[in-house]
Amino acid sequence: MSETESHPPVVSHRASPGRFSRPVRTPRKKTPPAAIRKATAASALGNATEWYDYGVYAVATAYITQHFFPGEQGMLLTLATFAISFLVRPLGGLVWGPLGDRLGRKTILAMTILMMSGATFLIGVLPSFEQVGVWAPVLLIVLRMVQGFSTGGEYGGAATYMSEYAPDRKRGFFGSFLEFGTLGGFALGTAVMLVLELVLSPEQMSSWGWRLPFLLAAPMGLIGFYLRSKLDDTPVFEEMNASDEDSRGTGPATAAGEPTSETVAPPSLAQVFRDHWKPMLVMTGLVISVNVVNYTLLSYMPTYLEQQIGLPAAAGLMIILIGEIAMMALMPWAGGLSDRFGRKPSWYFSLAGLILLAIPMFMLMGLNFGLAILGFAVLGLLYIPQLSTITATFPAMLPTQARFSGFAITYNIATSIFGGTAALVNEWGIGATGDVRFPAYYMMGACAVGLVCAWFMRETAGASLRGTEVPGSIGSAVVPGSPAESALEEGRQPEQRSMDEAEMLALAEEAKLAAATGAGGVAVDGAGDLDGAGDPDGGARVGAPVA
């Protein structure tokens, strides 16, 4: 599908540079590379802790069924309980998202990691159904709801934090480490359970061994809380809320070099939906594809391999672990490629590849252990271009003042419907149709939705996230030579398809005028020299208003 269709012809940016965009400028106060690495490590470790908790539940479903949901429908009830936490995630997004735009990103992240790890620890000490009857599954459901509520702020907050801290030129590379942490958490949960399966007898695992991975969440959560509490908030957030600093002359500067006292109040929930429903709708379709694939491969696959394919539990866990480690190894590489070639090509490749190869790979997994590893690995590798660029893609679809709210709400609503229910839908679908390839069909349908939405997504690789403007919009600040600049100057951004050249030039000039007068907030490169790139103009540049 060519992105040059359906819009008027425009002059190439090579012939007339900067007609529909302006270059990012380095701020006076640059973010030290050490601070970026520290923020990246703390975000990734915290995210690993969060998703370790989810991963442990996913690979312990057989033991949870035995102790909390005995009976014929026990597995379905266990998977439904897994899904319940996702139903609470939108509530968490509605609460944590606006708080994150008001109080700051790091404050919310410190709170959510304590809630998540504490709830997971308590699952490990819950009495069983035999001991307290129906209270056992009730308490388990309550703790899963606490996990879901905390995750409603954790993931949106961590992705927003990481994307705002990363340099514009390398947002895909640095952002990929957040998803590295996600896979690391899943892999750690799988590895711990696999080790226990190998060193303990079946009786010991059934009696008390299955509880140990849940108990490990407590020290992991405390470490993550300590690291996050020592972080500063993102430069992007601090600049937008720097009225006190401005009065002392240390805040963001106008193009003339004078500090501006402008601050932007976070929008209400009604304003978020009213002003940003289009990118939120596009994001919803992309999140559907991300989550159906993610939770089919990483959460449901152990159950699928054991119950539908007939592999031993340890063999199924080993396949998942090998696949997750391979995915982690390639994650930063895939993120870096998206910085060079763009987010949209990464998504197109991943979505189209999964649509084409889902059925053949599921057929391979049903043949034997070796081919099951190959099939899972191929699907996992095709998924990486989506997973590695989530942090760089989704927060960049919204302006700073609505970024945490819009992302957290959109991501969690879509995830609650299509992510947490993926295992349940797949289990039900196989039972209803008798076709063990049902998960492949489900993944293909979700990726088809994502492919359509990717067509309407802006290219934001190299777009600045600073200021009140929408990244990648006409007249916005972009890194020279980046995919975002190429998309703007060649007229390939979605809104440009319905505009003629005169309209685009008029809107670009309006945005640049707002930038020059300081009417739109700061839009500068947060760590312009981290990758060795200089700043030829040597000054701060303010951003354009939301288009």
Question: 3-state secondary structure string, 223-278?
Answer: HHHHHHHCCCCCHHHHHHCCHHHHHCCCCCECCCCCECCCCCCCCCHHHHHHHHHH
CA 433 to chain centre: 32
C-alpha closest to that of 473 among 387, 544, 393, 383? 544
Q: For residues 92 and 107, what is the distance between their CA atoms, to the nearest angstrom?
A: 15
Predicted local distance difference test score (pLDDT) of residue 142 = 93
Q: Do 371 and 364 meet the contact criterion of CB atoms below 8 Å apart?
A: yes
Exposed e or buried b for every residue in 499-509, given b needs 16+ CB within 10 A? bebeebbebbe
**Helices 438-455 and 269-295, packing angle to 10 deg:** 140
Q: For residues 518 and 521, what is the distance between their CA atoms, to the nearest angstrom?
A: 6
**Helices 343-365 and 313-341, packing angle to 10 deg:** 160
Q: What is the 3-state secondary structure (H, E, C) of 172-205?
A: HHHHHHHHHHHHHHHHHHHHHHHHHHHHCCHHHH
Predicted local distance difference test score (pLDDT) of residue 397 = 93
Torsion of CA 244, 245, 251, 256, to 10 degrees: 80
Whether the CA torsion 417, 421, 426, 431 is positive or negative: it is negative
Half-sphere exposure of 137 (CA within 13 A, CB side): 22
Distances (CA, A) of 116 to 123, 242, 274, 309: 11, 31, 32, 33
Whether the CA torsion 283, 419, 330, 391 is positive or negative: it is positive
Predicted local distance difference test score (pLDDT) of residue 265 = 66
Q: Do 301 and 316 meet the contact criterion of CB atoms below 8 Å apart?
A: yes
Q: For residues 398 and 410, what is the distance between their CA atoms, to the nearest angstrom?
A: 11
Residues paired with 253 in a beta bridge: 259
Q: Name the token pair of 238.
A: 């601090």
pTM of the full predicted structure? 0.77
Q: For residues 148 and 92, what is the distance between their CA atoms, to the nearest angstrom?
A: 7
Q: For residues 164 and 210, what is the distance between their CA atoms, to the nearest angstrom?
A: 39
38 residue type, one letter: K
Q: CA 456, 174, 357: angle at the middle one, nearest 5?
A: 55
Torsion of CA 343, 345, 348, 354, to 10 degrees: -90
Predicted local distance difference test score (pLDDT) of residue 422 = 84
Each residue's pLDDT, cut to its tens digit, for the chain (547 residues) gives 444 444 444 444 443 457 888 888 665 567 777 778 878 887 787 778 777 877 788 778 888 888 898 877 788 888 788 778 778 888 887 887 777 777 767 777 778 888 888 888 999 999 988 898 889 999 999 998 998 888 777 777 778 888 888 888 999 999 899 888 888 888 888 788 888 888 988 888 888 988 999 998 888 888 878 877 777 777 777 776 664 344 344 444 443 333 343 456 677 778 888 989 999 999 999 999 999 998 888 777 777 777 767 777 777 778 888 888 888 899 999 999 999 999 999 999 999 999 999 999 988 887 877 888 888 889 999 999 999 999 999 999 998 888 888 888 898 888 888 887 887 888 888 888 888 889 999 999 999 999 999 999 999 999 998 878 889 999 888 999 999 999 999 999 999 988 988 988 998 888 888 776 654 433 333 333 333 333 333 333 333 333 3
Q: Which residue has the tokens 């949960």?
A: 189
Predicted local distance difference test score (pLDDT) of residue 332 = 92
- The pairs formed by 355-361 with CB atoms below 8 angstroms and a separation of 24 or more are 355/444, 355/447, 355/448, 355/451, 357/382, 358/440, 358/441, 358/443, 358/444, 358/447, 359/437, 359/440, 359/441, 359/444, 361/440
The pairing of beta strand 22-23 with beta strand 477-478: parallel
Predicted local distance difference test score (pLDDT) of residue 264 = 60
Alpha-helical (H) ranges within 70-216 are 74-103, 105-123, 129-132, 135-165, 171-199, 202-207, 212-215
At residue 535, φ and ψ (nearest 5 deg) are -120, 100
C-alpha closest to that of 474 among 163, 13, 166? 13
Burial (0-12, 13-18, 19+ Cβ within 10 Å), 6: exposed
Q: CA 408, 49, 68: angle at the middle one, nearest 5?
A: 95
Task: Return the SS3 of 394.
Answer: coil
Task: Return the SS3 of 463.
Answer: strand
At residue 25, φ and ψ (nearest 5 deg) are -115, 150
Query: Would you tell me how many other CB atoms lie within 10 Å of the CB of residue 275?
Result: 18
